[in-house]
Amino acid sequence: MSRFVALIAALMVAAVAAFSTGMDRKAFGQAVVGGAAAVVGPAIASAGEGAKFSVFGGAASEPYTLGESLYSPYSPFGPGDDRVYSKFNDKEVKFNIGIVTESQKRLTLIPAYLEKKKWIDTVDELTRYMYNTRKSMNYLAEKSGNKNAAKIKKDFFTDIEAITVACKRKEQDVAVAAHAKATKDLDAFLKAL
């Protein structure tokens, strides 16, 4: 706070000096920037600390202060049994399983695109709806706690990336092989759940 007051005082002194001596705007601006640079100290970042911000100089100005009692059962930040959201609830699990099964259906469309060498359509199919498959598979693997499912999902992600790269390089045989492996891995993932 003292630096801020010193900066304001320096600006006022510079303004009075500038206007009484007939200083032009360019010289005044240089004096202000030079004075501000002298007053402002270096910002030192510490490893592992997040950003800190404060509007009035007291403490971090945010409404989600730790240690406050739960004010609403609808708050996602509240602890305990009073909160509404619980991770891995039935509705959320069904939603994520639905995304993976729909992705499984869309994966069956890809061989026709590869046969006709429709590279863009293949990549579109992998990204249009299946963009959320990765998130859903991570969620379901975490819920199941099955280490085999976690390994299979990583293999599936690698297979999908291999299809995309093969399509960009227009390598039909590589894309077909990667698709066969991706289909096998997705089936194995669903069985592992």
Write the pLDDT tens digit of every residue in 50-92. Answer: 556 555 555 555 555 555 565 566 666 566 666 667 788 899 9
Predicted pLDDT at 29: 78
User: Cα(110)–Cα(142) distance, rounded to whole angstroms?
Assistant: 28
Which class does domain 90-192 fall in? mainly alpha
Q: 174, 128 in Cβ contact below 8 A? A: no
φ and ψ at residue 57, rounded to 5 degrees: 90, 5
Domain boundaries, the chain: 2-39, 90-192
The pTM assigned to this predicted structure is: 0.59
Q: Any idea which residue has 């066969």 for tokens?
A: 180
Q: Any idea which residue has 């004010």 for tokens?
A: 71
Share of the chain above pLDDT 90, in %: 51
Residue-wise pLDDT tens digits, 135-159: 999 999 999 999 999 999 999 999 9
The least confident of 23-27, 105-109, 136-140, 181-185 is: 23-27
The least confident of 127-136, 158-167, 170-179 is: 127-136
Sign of the four-CA dihedral 156, 157, 162, 164 = positive
Alpha helices for 78-171 (secondary structure H):
90-107, 110-115, 119-128, 133-144, 147-169
Predicted pLDDT at 5: 77
Residue type, position 163, single letter? I
